[in-house]
Amino acid sequence: MSDSTGNIGQSWFTEFHTPHAGLTLRITEHLARKQSPYQLVEVMETVEYGTLLTLDGMVMLTDRDEHVYHEMMTHVPMLAHPNPKRVLVVGGGDGGCLREIVKHPSLEKVTQVEIDGDVVDLCKKHFPDVAQAYSNKKVELVIGDAIDYLRRYKGEFDVAIIDGSDPVGPAVGLFERSFFTDVHDALKPDGLMSCQIGSPLYSHERIASTLKHWREVFTEAKAYLAHIPTYPSGVWCLGLASREPGGSSAQPNQVRFRTFSESLRYYTLDIHKGAFALPADLARVAT
Ligand code: SPD
C-alpha cells in the first residue's frame, strides 16, 4: 500500500522538499486519512516526533516541535502590540495559535476563520493539547473562506495571524497582494500582522515577493526566523507587518510576558529580539 507521497509500505513518511531532498519519519500507525473538499488530511503516529499532521503530503505540525511555530507566530505580534484585545486567525485549524493567544491577559475575543472543518475535527481528536482552546469562551470559530470573510471587516482587529499552509491548493490566495490589502484594512490603525512565509534556504523568491507585497500595503514589514526541525530546511521564515511606523520593531511587553512565561518552551524576550537577525543572503532579499 502506498501513502500520499508514493512511499511503498506503511513504515515511513517522506515529504520531498526538492526533487532531491526531503524529510523522512518512521511511522508506527496511520491514525486518519480523509480527502476533504479542499485537501488530503492525514494524521500519523511517528516514532521520533509524536503525532504528525499533513495536508496534501506536507508537514503541518508534529507534537514535538509545534510549540516553536505556534509560540513564534503568536507571541511576537501579541507582545509587540500595545494592547491586543481583538485577534483574527486565518487558517490554523489545528488550534495551536489559539492555544497561545488565549494566554494573553488583554484578549477579549479571538476569531478563527478556517476553510476546512475536517482539519478542525481531526485535530480535536488527535491533538487534544494543541486544540485545547476550542472550548475557551473567548474563541469564535468560523468555518469558511477567510478571503470572503475579511472583506466585511474594516478597522476591527488589533492583531491578525495568518497561519495558512504552503501556497498550493486552498492556501494560494493567502499569498496574494489583494489578500494582504484586505488584512491591512481589517486591522485597526495600530494593528499588526504575523504570517508564515517559507524556507529561508529553498524559498528566497517567495520570501522576497511576499515582503515586497507587504511593503506596498503596510507601513513596515520584517522577516524573522524560528527553528522548526520538521519544516523544509529546519528553519522557517515568518513575517511581521505593521500599519504604523515603529509597530514591527516595538519592544515586547515584559509585564504581559511574565503572566504566562512559565508555560512557554521556545519564546523568550531575547528570542523575540534575536529572531529578527537574518543571515546575510536572506537579509539582502528580505530587507
Ligand atoms: N511547510 C509548512 C508550512 C506550514 C504552515 N502552517 C502550519 C500550520 C500549523 N498551525
**Does ligand 1 come within 6 angstroms of the Cβ of 203?**
no
For residue range 79-92, what is the model confidence (pLDDT) as tens digits? 999 999 999 999 99
User: Which three three-digit cell numbers place residue 234?
Assistant: 529546519
Helix (H) or strand (E) holding 205: helix 204-217
What's the confidence (pLDDT) of residue 8?
Answer: 47
Read off the pLDDT of residues 169-204 as tens digits, 9 standing for 90 and up: 777 878 888 999 999 999 999 999 999 999 999 999
Q: Measured between alpha carbons, how far is residue 50 from residues 46, 53, 54, 56, 131 in Å? A: 5, 10, 13, 19, 15
* Domains detected in the chain: 6-62 (2.30.140.10), 66-286 (3.40.50.150)
Under a CB-based contact definition with an 8 Å cutoff, are residues 220 and 247 in contact? Answer: yes
Cell readout for 256 is: 504581559
- Nearest atom in ligand 1 to the alpha carbon of residue 196 is 5
Cα–Cα–Cα angle for 173, 178, 179, rounded to 5 degrees: 50
- Determine which helix (DSSP H) or strand (DSSP E) holds 45, and give its type and residue range: strand 40-46
Report the run of H or E that residue 76 belongs to, with start and end: helix 66-80
State the burial class of residue 178 (Cβ atoms within 10 Å of its Cβ: 0-12, 13-18, 19+). exposed
Task: Pick the residue whose CA is nearest to atom 5 on ligand 1.
Answer: 165
Q: What is the average pLDDT value for the chain, to the nearest integer?
A: 94
**What is the residue with the minimal CA distance to atom 8 of ligand 1?**
60
Instruction: Tell me the C-alpha distance between 286 and 96, whole Å.
Output: 27
Backbone phi, psi, residue 135, to 5°: -90, 0
Q: Is 196 in the pocket of ligand 1 (CB under 6 A)?
A: yes
Residue 55 Cβ inside 6 Å of ligand 1? The answer reads no
Q: Which residues pair with 111 in a beta bridge?
A: 88, 140
**How does residue 9 score in pLDDT terms, banded at 50, 70 and 90?**
low
**Nearest alpha-carbon partner for 149 in 177, 185, 196:** 185
pTM of the model: 0.95
